[in-house]
Amino acid sequence: MIDRILAWDLNEWYLLGWSAGLVLLYWMVPRRFGRVTFWMIWLFVVFLVQTADYILGVPPYDMYDFLDKPKWELPYGVAQFTLYPMIGYFFLYGFDRWEPKGWRLAGYLLLWSSASTVFEWSCLKTGVLKYKDWQLWYSFFTYLSVFVLEIVYFRFVKKWLRQEGMGWRRPEKT
C-alpha cells in the first residue's frame, strides 16, 4: 500500500490536492445548508458522477480513462466522493445565496459550466484524464446539463423538507 502511494506522481496529487482543497474550503466557509440538505446534495452528485463514469468510462463505450491505468485507482475513488460533491455543493451554495433568475441564471450556469470545463482541461494537461472518444466540448454541455439537473433536484429537496416542516438552510442557533 505504502509502495503504491510513493509511486503516485503529479496526476494523483493534483486530483487529491483539489479534493483536499475543496473539503478545506467547505470547512472554512459559513455553513448555509442543514445537514440533511448537505447529504441530499452529496448523494445526488455522487450518483450522477458514478453513473456517468461507469457507463462512459468503461468498455464497451470506454470514452476516457482516469489516471495511469485503465483500472479503478484510489485517488479517483477519493475524488468521486469528495471533489465532485463539493463542486455540486458550492454551485448550489451560490445559487441559494444569490438566487439568480432569467439572464443572471443563464450567466451563472454558463460561468460554472465554463469553470468546470477549464478544470477538466487542466486535468487533461496534468494527465489526470485521458480522452479516447471524448471531446472537451462534450464536457461543457454535460456540465451544463448536470447543473440544470442539480437546480431541479434542489427544488425537490426544498419541497420535501418543507413537507416535513423543516427548512433546507442550517437551523439558527437559539
Partner 1 sequence: MGLLFFIAFLVPIAMYYRRMEKTLRPVENAAMYLFLAILDQNVLAQLTIVFSLYDMTQNKWLIWALFLNRVVTAPLALLIYLNLIVRQHNWAARLGITAAMLAVVLTMEYCSVWLGLITYVKWSAWLSPLQWLGHMLLPILFWRWFRRLLRKEALS
Closest contact distance (angstroms) between CB of 127 and partner 1 is: 20
Helix (H, G, I), strand (E, B) or coil at 92: helix
Cα–chain-centroid distance for residue 159? 23
Return d(Cα 85, Cα 92) in angstroms, integer.
Answer: 11
Residue closer to partner 1 (CB basis): 108 or 153: 153
Helix (H, G, I), strand (E, B) or coil at 14: helix
User: Residue with C-alpha cell 494537461?
Assistant: 125
Closest Cα partner for 48 from 78, 79, 11, 84?
84
**Site for partner 1, rule CB under 8 A:** 34-36, 39-40, 43-44, 46-47, 50-51, 54-55, 58-61, 71-72, 156-157, 160-161, 163-166, 171
Closest contact distance (angstroms) between CB of 143 and partner 1 is: 20
Closest contact distance (angstroms) between CB of 88 and partner 1 is: 13
Closest contact distance (angstroms) between CB of 19 and partner 1 is: 17
Residue closer to partner 1 (CB basis): 111 or 169: 169
Closest Cα partner for 83 from 16, 5, 12?
16
Residue closer to partner 1 (CB basis): 17 or 77: 77
